[in-house]
Amino acid sequence: MPPAIVDSHCHLDFPQLAEDLDQVIARARDAGVTRMVTICTRLRQLPQVQTIAEAHEGIFFAAGTHPMSVAEEPMVRVDELIALADHPKMVGIGESGLDYHYTADSKDAQVQSLRVHIEAARRTRLPLIIHARDADDDMARILTEEHRAGAYSCVMHCFSSGAALARAALDLGFYLSMSGIAAFPKSGALRDIFAAAPLDRILLETDAPYLAPPPYRGRRNEPAYTVHTAQVGAELFGLGYPEFAAATSANFDRLFWKAAA
């Protein structure tokens, strides 16, 4: 059997994966991906996400409102997220965050939603899952302000921002998650950021169905392809694949404590 690894962030309810989901999950298992966290990006879609997690061993879920969806969805409430966290397979809060690339016009609502998600993470002790794009300064400021007001745990999902935001997140004790972007040929600067981070703060993810790593770039991504990003990560840290797989799995267990092996 291949070494066990974790896809800490995917979207198994998205239509690109729904048509052959059983085969997608089977291929992940064959590749050694023993656990996956499927992320709800709109709370009205939570029933589909939750059903997938309940039907499969080793699949967990997180719930929140994606920053790009904030303007189209009812504002999430802290008590709402806390109530959802009672489910044994809900292991994280989010994804939340800031996206000024596509949806800068909803900036104020995104900030409000982010602070709601942070408070829910603080009160449930579940890790906050952060999406950040073209918002490094505001993201670093808000995460730091909120952490001073009360500690919480967090992963910077699909990290592809600058070194300053990486350092701010690491200084707060947060984690950086490697997606297929880190394996793209032109992502040398991003790989340098990961290589400079402590090994015990690194997670793996696909963000499937998006961002497939080479040799599948440009095609549908799926959790089995976590392996290809892990191979790049192992090289960055000068480790064999089994050692890197074990280290990132231990990191996942520490952060996503409800899904710990």
User: Which structural domain range is residue 34 located in?
Assistant: 5-259
Dihedral over alpha carbons 194, 197, 200, 205 (to 10 degrees): -20
pLDDT exceeds 90 at position 12? yes
pLDDT exceeds 90 at position 138? yes
pLDDT band of 214, cuts 50, 70, 90: very high
pLDDT of residue 129: 98
pLDDT exceeds 80 at position 37? yes
pLDDT band of 57, cuts 50, 70, 90: very high
Q: Encoding tokens for residue 256?
A: 């996503």
Give me the mean pLDDT over the 126-142 stretch: 98
Sheet holding 154-156, edge to edge: 5-10, 33-40, 59-63, 90-99, 128-133, 154-156, 175-178, 202-204
pLDDT of residue 183: 97
The count of other CB atoms within 10 Å of the CB of residue 199 is 18
Query: Which CATH number belongs to the domain containing residue 12 in this structure?
Result: 3.20.20.140
What average pLDDT does the chain have?
Answer: 97
**What is the reported pTM?**
0.97
Give me the mean pLDDT over the 240-251 stretch: 98
Give CA–CA dist 85/240, Å, rounded.
Answer: 36
The count of other CB atoms within 10 Å of the CB of residue 57 is 9
Give CA–CA dist 107/3, Å, rounded.
Answer: 42
Q: Encoding tokens for residue 243?
A: 């050692």
Geometric angle at alpha carbon 29, from 28 and 30, rounded to 5°: 90
Residue where the block lists tokens 């998205």: 14
pLDDT exceeds 80 at position 261? no
Helix pair 21-31, 226-236: axis angle to 10 deg? 30
Give CA–CA dist 24/76, Å, rounded.
Answer: 31
Percent of the chain exceeding pLDDT 70 equals: 100
pLDDT of residue 201: 98
Phi, psi torsion values for 95, nearest 5 degrees: -95, 145
Direct distance between the N- and C-terminal alpha carbons of the chain, in angstroms, rounded to an integer? 17
pLDDT of residue 1: 86
Give CA–CA dist 203/243, Å, rounded.
Answer: 13
pLDDT tens for each residue of 77-125 = 999 999 999 999 999 999 999 999 999 999 999 999 999 999 999 999 9
Q: Is the dihedral of CA 24, 6, 35, 38 positive or negative?
A: negative
pLDDT band of 231, cuts 50, 70, 90: very high
pLDDT of residue 70: 97
For the chain, how many structural domains are there in total?
A: 1
Three-state secondary-structure class, residue 152: coil
pLDDT of residue 43: 97
Phi, psi torsion values for 226, nearest 5 degrees: -50, -30
pLDDT tens for each residue of 161-204 = 999 999 999 999 999 999 999 999 999 999 999 999 999 999 99
